[in-house]
């Protein structure tokens, strides 16, 4: 193992150059206009896989999906576990370009960080995995455990073909333990393993008051205003600093244990720092339920957010009483909520007592994604904790995440209940999806160091048992 660690230190600049090559390709998946670039990135990932020492490297597709990159190394010998490595090579578009301080498609060092679109989310994961693999293959020519690596090209558009991909290639990708590098450390230098994810489901709220718009001079004050009615309906969701006032919404929510509460409240947190980073206006207060911390709120409590609202176009506004208005309400769900129950509760609540008697229709918008939670104990988690502790020289923490990674639960089940290790690669300053996305270079080094140690520990587990 020491040879591999030494190789990492010696070849860090080579790894950074490999990351720079990846972020130089604008592999944007959200607009449907960069399929060629996504194809180029998939090929580059395959080239880097071969260079790192993986075998049977190829691009794979399922149906009309964007390309996945796949590689493996399965020569560790009998009794050694197989580790599944996941990352994605597609990225978000570059928005608010005037706010970027450097070229978003050129990896730029500044103040200990590496700036570029995709530098943290999630091309750094590709480089980190391949750096750890190469560290062994370029020195001893062996890996302590078997690895199978999949790099997806559709994560930023909801991984719409990923479960079909897993099902089609289930025998090819079957593994004993899963490692995902697409989550966050709660602060720089503090290694974090995510063991719970919120799910998500959205509903479309449609309000109809008439068939056509009518001149406001002729009917203003007489006809019900669909836009006002919609906002009156949405205002029923306002929770101030209490629970969300939807009947039945919390009936199945799993209560935090006293141990979890105590653990969350020991974690570092600065409201002032968070307000500054997010840019909360001075007059605004946080919306947490009274007595709950932000970690409790965002990791283990459900939420509702109006993510889109439409009645007419502001640039083409006309003096009319609008007949239709609609909004999308997104809900983050937690253990043990069910998507169908949440939708039913919202539908019953929002459709009742419509202002002016207008028509209110609430329907599910998209398939939704279930929550996921696992027990952060057992050989795989203990190995990860020990490896991160040595790699970062700091005790790691087990945390939750307010976001969703929909494939983790189904993939773990597909692998017969395989442990899933979600290791942090971003941090609160990474600005994933936003201007000036960046990766903390020091933590990048420490994470690769930890992966080298984790592979070594997996290879030493008795009979390869990771659970």
What are the pLDDT digits (tens) for 299-325?
Answer: 999 999 999 999 999 999 999 999 999
Domain boundary among the residues 368, 392, 422 is at 368
Among the residue ranges 22-36, 264-278, 294-308, 334-348, the one predicted with the least confidence is 264-278
Average pLDDT over residues 256-278: 92
Yes or no: say if 339 and 199 are a contact pair by the CB < 8 Å rule.
Answer: yes
Work out the angle at residue 138's Cα, subtended by the Cα atoms of residues 134 and 140, and round it to the nearest 5 degrees: 115
Bridge partner list, 59: 69
Beta bridge pairs of residue 308:
328
The tens digit of pLDDT for each residue in 1-11 reads: 999 999 999 99
Q: What is the mean pLDDT of residues 166-183?
A: 97
- Residue 445: what pLDDT? 98
- Indicate whether 182 and 317 sit together in one domain: no
Query: In angstroms, rounded to a whole number, what is the distance separating the alpha carbons of residues 115 and 291?
Result: 37
Same domain, 92 and 235: no
Residues counted in the chain: 467
Per the rule left: phi > 0, alpha: psi between -120 and 50, beta: everything else, 130 is alpha
Domain boundary among 318, 338, 368: 368
Burial of 268 (0-12, 13-18, 19+ CB in 10 A): exposed
Whether 279 has a pLDDT exceeding 90, the answer reads no
As a whole number, mean pLDDT of residues 354-373 equals 96
Does one domain contain both 450 and 328? no
Confidence of residue 35 (pLDDT cuts 50, 70, 90): very high
Mark whether 206 and 103 lie in a shared domain.
no
Which pLDDT does position 114 carry in this prediction?
A: 98
**Within this chain, do residues 164 and 42 fall inside the same structural domain, yes or no?**
yes
pLDDT level of residue 94 (50, 70, 90 thresholds): very high
Do 351 and 393 lie in one domain? The reply is no
Number of structural domains the chain divides into: 2
Range of the domain at 335: 199-253+302-368
pLDDT of residue 200: 95
Model pLDDT, residue 278: 82
pLDDT given at position 262: 94
**Mean residue pLDDT across the chain:** 96
Query: Percentage of residues in the chain with pLDDT exceeding 70?
Result: 100
* pLDDT exceeds cutoff 90 at 207: yes
159 within a domain of the structure (yes/no): yes
Instruction: Answer yes or no: is pLDDT of 367 > 90.
Output: no
Confidence of residue 359 (pLDDT cuts 50, 70, 90): very high
Residues 42, 104, single domain; the answer is yes
Contacts of 36 (CB under 8 A, 6+ apart): none
With 90 as the cut, is the pLDDT of residue 277 above it?
no
Asked if residue 121 lies in contact with residue 426, where contact means CB atoms within 8 angstroms, the answer is yes
58, part of any domain? yes
Q: What is the mean pLDDT of residues 320-349?
A: 97
| Contact yes or no for 70/57 (Cβ under 8 A) | yes
Residue 70 has pLDDT above 90, yes or no: yes
Q: Are residues 349 and 460 in the same domain?
A: no
Do 264 and 398 touch, CB atoms closer than 8 A?
no
**What is the phi/psi pair of residue 375, to 5°?**
-90, 115
């Amino acid at each position: 193992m020491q040879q591999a660690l030494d190789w990492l230190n010696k070849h860090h600049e080579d790894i950074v150059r490999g990351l720079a090559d990846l972020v130089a390709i604008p592999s944007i998946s959200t607009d449907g206009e960069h399929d060629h670039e996504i194809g180029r990135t998939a090929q580059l990932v395959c080239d880097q896989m071969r260079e790192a020492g993986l075998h049977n490297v190829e691009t794979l597709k399922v149906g009309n999906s964007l390309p996945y990159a796949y590689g493996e190394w399965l020569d560790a010998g009998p009794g050694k576990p197989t580790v599944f490595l996941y990352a994605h090579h597609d990225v978000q578009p570059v928005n608010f370009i005037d706010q970027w301080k450097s070229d978003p498609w050129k990896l730029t060092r500044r103040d200990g960080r590496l700036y570029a679109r995709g530098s943290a989310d999630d091309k750094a994961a590709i480089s980190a995995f391949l750096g750890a693999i190469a560290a062994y293959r370029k020195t001893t020519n062996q890996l302590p455990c078997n690895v199978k690596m999949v790099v997806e090209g559709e994560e930023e558009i909801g991984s719409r073909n990923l479960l079909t991909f897993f099902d089609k290639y289930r025998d090819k990708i079957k593994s004993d333990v899963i490692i995902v590098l697409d989550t966050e450390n709660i602060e720089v230098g503090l290694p974090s393993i995510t063991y719970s994810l919120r799910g998500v489901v959205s509903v479309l709220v449609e309000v109809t008051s008439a068939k056509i718009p009518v001149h406001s001079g002729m009917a203003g004050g007489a006809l019900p205003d669909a836009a006002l009615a919609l906002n009156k309906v949405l205002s029923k969701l306002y929770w101030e600093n209490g629970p969300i006032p939807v009947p039945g919404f919390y009936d199945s929510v799993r209560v935090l244990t006293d141990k979890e509460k105590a653990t969350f409240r020991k974690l570092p947190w600065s409201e002032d720092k968070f307000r500054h980073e997010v840019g909360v206006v001075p007059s605004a207060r946080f919306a947490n339920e009274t007595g709950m911390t932000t970690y409790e709120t965002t990791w283990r409590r459900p939420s509702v957010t109006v993510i889109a609202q439409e009645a007419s176009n502001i640039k083409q506004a006309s003096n009319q009483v609008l007949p239709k208005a609609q909004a999308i309400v997104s809900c983050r769900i937690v253990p043990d909520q069910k998507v169908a129950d949440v939708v039913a509760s919202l539908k019953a609540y929002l459709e009742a007592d419509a202002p002016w008697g207008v028509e209110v229709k609430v329907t599910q918008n998209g398939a939704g994604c279930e929550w996921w939670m696992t027990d952060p104990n057992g050989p795989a988690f203990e190995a990860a904790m020990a490896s991160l502790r040595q790699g970062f020289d700091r005790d790691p923490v087990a945390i939750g995440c307010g976001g969703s990674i929909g494939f983790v639960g189904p993939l773990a089940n597909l692998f017969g209940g395989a442990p899933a290790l979600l290791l942090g690669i971003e941090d609160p300053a990474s600005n994933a999806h936003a201007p000036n996305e960046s990766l903390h270079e020091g933590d990048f080094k420490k994470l690769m160091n930890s992966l080298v140690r984790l592979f070594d520990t997996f290879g030493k587990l008795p009979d390869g048992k990771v659970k």
